[in-house]
Amino acid sequence: MKKILLIATGGTIASREDGHGLSPTATGEELTESVPEIAGLCELDIVQPMNIDSTNMRPADWLRIRDAIAEGYDSHDGFVILHGTDTMAYTAAALSYLIQGSAKPIVLTGSQQPMGAPFTDAKLNLYQSLLYALDDASRDVSIVFGGMVIAGTRARKQRTMSYNAFKSINFPPLALIRTDKIVRATLGGGAVPDPVRQEPIRFHDAPDERVCVLKLTPGLTPAVFNLLACDYDGVILETFGVGGIPAYGTDEGDSFQRAIFDWVDSGRTVVMTTQVPEEGMDLGLYEVGRAYAEHPGILKGGDMTTEALVAKTMWVLGQTRDPERVRELFYTPVNFDRTDG
């Protein structure tokens, strides 16, 4: 019988109302006892590195989850992480970079309703996550939620209440799960992990937390980069459309172009992406983006999600500050995170 390590971290799935608002108090053991249908599927070990609302999840917590997987790696066939939905897409992306080449599946799940709620989605999500983690063709990091399997780098929380909370962005879902049947995208289409691929597992070290996201809004002043420089070395810039950056404030001292080029020239990192949810960017298409597209020090997010860009930039800057190496690591696809190479 296969052996799964269940890593309980909190979230709505573990939450109860105590008069101050929902907060996670149920343990991993209590959650599994609430779903008798999973008995007999596999041997289950349970660890609980934390019990928190995922709003409070930080990069240091990603490392605690990574450590739990590393410690249990040889003695288990797969891993299921119970996690709050609000930052699950970030954690799934982070684990995709911190644990690469895993032949054993690492599945994140949670729920929109607590395990104790009358019409909860928690039971089916937990059950289907275990099914997916037990399947021989599963590997690497993914999210199983609402009957859909999404690559760990491609998820976004799209709905705050409905049970189909997550969407696979700019990439097909890896599989659908109908009750207890896994329906995978066709093999050979590039959308599913190749079960026979042989790669050594690689656990990576500390991500650099000095990375933030800046969303352009009409009228935003380029001086914002001076404020960010105190606390951040990497900025993911969510531009307009396929890649527009305002050209107003064109004096030498206060243009976006000056602020962004200075940021890069000072050894910091800028990643360009779009605030449009789907289809990625083409930075050079309009005049308002062309100068940035041609700047070799500016990284292009392509069709990656902002969540994955945050996690990847943190992971890259945690490895190196050498600009050549940063570029090389950034543009190397990991767990289906980008399709433009």
In the complex, minimum distance from the CB of residue 293 to ligand ASP, in angstroms, rounded to a whole number: 36
How near is the Cβ of 92 to ligand ASP at its closest, in Å? 13
Q: Minimal distance in Å, beta carbon 33 to ligand ASP?
A: 20
Judge residue 168's burial from the number of C-beta atoms within 10 Å of its C-beta, 0-12 exposed, 13-18 middle, 19 or more buried. buried
Which of 83-91, 115-123, 195-203, 236-244 is the region at the interface with ligand ASP (rule: CB under 6 A)? 83-91
Distance separating alpha carbons of residues 171 and 154, to the nearest angstrom: 7
Q: Is the Cβ–Cβ distance between 42 and 134 less than 8 Å?
A: yes
- State which amino acid sits at residue 178: R
Closest to ligand ASP by CB, 53 vs 135, is 53
In the chain, alpha helices (H): 28-33, 59-72, 88-98, 122-134, 224-228, 256-265, 287-293, 306-319, 323-331
- Report helix, strand or coil for 317: helix
Is 307 one of the binding residues for ligand ASP (CB under 6 A)?
Answer: no
53: contact with ligand ASP by CB under 6 A = yes
Among 16, 17, 55, 199, binds ligand ASP (CB under 6 A): 55
Q: Does 84 bind ligand ASP (CB under 6 A)?
A: yes
User: How far is 121 from 210, CA to CA, in rounded Å?
Assistant: 36
Cα-to-chain-centroid distance, residue 287: 32
Stretch that binds ligand ASP, among 78-86, 143-151, 192-200, 319-327 (CB under 6 A): 78-86
Q: Please state the closest distance from residue 38 (CB atom) to ligand ASP, in A.
A: 20
Residue nearest to ligand ASP (CB): 84
320 is catalytic: no
234 contacts 271 by C-beta, under 8 angstroms: yes
Nearer to ligand ASP, 55 or 164 (CB): 55
The nearest distance, CB 88 to ligand ASP, in angstroms, is 7
For the segment 94-113, give every residue that binds ligand ASP (CB under 6 A): 110, 112
* CB 31, CB 115: distance < 8 Å: yes
Give the interface size with ligand ASP as a residue count (CB under 6 A): 10
Q: Cα-Cα-Cα-Cα dihedral of 34, 40, 41, 46, to 10°?
A: 60
Q: Where along the sequence are the contacts to ligand ASP (CB under 6 A)?
A: 11-12, 53-55, 84-86, 110, 112
Residues that are catalytic:
12
